[in-house]
Amino acid sequence: MKGTPSNPVCGFSLRVVQILKHLGCDFASANILTSKSVVKNLKYVSDWKTYPQLFINGEFVGGCDVVTELFESGELKKMLEKAGAFSEPEEAEKPASTVSK
């Protein structure tokens, strides 16, 4: 992505971060503006010319437009769930009926 999740530098990166945060999934990022090696290697991995680029478990998914379409259709959440991209809630965050006594 261009920038960081807390400080995206372009609207496309901001949009993907907003989607991932809205879904509540765990994700890592790489700032292409400060990491030339990431940019160099991504062209061999994805053959995609724009940023951000979303990968799930090492598999290239797409850029902002693809991620947005998958989000709007509900498919992105399914893909992330299948990949185990959601943390289990902490004990304090679980509903009272599921907390062990």
Q: Annotated binding residue at 25?
A: no
Integer CA distances (angstroms), 89 to 24, 78, 96, in order:
11, 18, 12
CB neighbours (10 Å) of residue 38? 16
Of 73, 53, 43, which Cα lies nearest the Cα of 13? 53
**Stretch (H or E) spanning 76:** helix 75-83
Annotated binding residues for [2Fe-2S] cluster, written as ranges, equal: 10
Annotated binding residues, written as ranges, equal: 10
